[in-house]
Structure 1
């Protein structure tokens, strides 16, 4: 079990495939949505935030998340589009992308460069 919070999103399957629902699943209002793709084998992220909370979903492929909140650190593998990882403002994070991965990011705040903290924890 991971120290970091993951949410099992409601998912429904039938012969036509799967459908995952995000209705009222997050502990914050979504103010920004973006996705990262074409980053096969690359490391992204490398920051934490002042106030932004994020929810991350690997909608395709696998993304390996390294997270450090200043007390605990760990790796969370995202490889299931029905699983959502919450990244809190204090969480230093990097992402390593597997082949063909697409990472959906839902954010509590609009983009603001002043919200980024680029220093790692000691």
Structure 2
């Protein structure tokens, strides 16, 4: 099931430094970021194999998640929060603030055969 982890963050008079060191339990094969999103939802799928780590590095967004057993809504409103999304987690990214930048780290390179677009029968 998807879950939030806190990222190590250092603050001083010079600014803020957030570190992703040994945070995800997968090798990062791809990264992408989503920004300038209108009122549209993004995502609407799950995967056969891909694990993901989502961090809203600017602004905020919401990720609705369903693993077939449990539904959750996660607010990504700080660059110190990281949402781990497992392959079975059918997810929708939505409610992007106008300044949102959502960074996603993925365990696999893009493969259209890895995507499952059908939601669970009871999905959000």
Q: Choose which of 19, 22, 32 in structure 2 pairs with 1:21.
A: 19
Question: Where do 5+ consecutive residues of structure 2 fail to align?
Answer: none
Distance in 2 separating the partners of 1:41 and 1:61: 15
Is the 1:40–1:100 Cα contact (8 Å) retained in structure 2? no
Secondary structure in structure 1 of the residue aligned to 2:113: helix
Is the 2:55–2:79 Cα contact (8 Å) retained in structure 1? yes
Corresponding position: 1:67 with 2:87: no
Alignment correspondent of 2:44: 46
TM-score (norm 1): 0.95
1:17 Cα shift? 1.3
Is the 1:10–1:82 Cα contact (8 Å) retained in structure 2? yes
Is the 1:56–1:85 Cα contact (8 Å) retained in structure 2? yes
TM-score (norm 2): 0.93
Distance in 2 separating the partners of 1:40 and 1:64: 14
Aligned CA-pair RMSD: 1.0
1:74 Cα shift? 1.4
Alignment correspondent of 1:78: 76
Distance in 2 separating the partners of 1:44 and 1:4: 17
Alignment correspondent of 2:29: 31
Alignment correspondent of 1:102: 101
**How many residues are matched?**
120
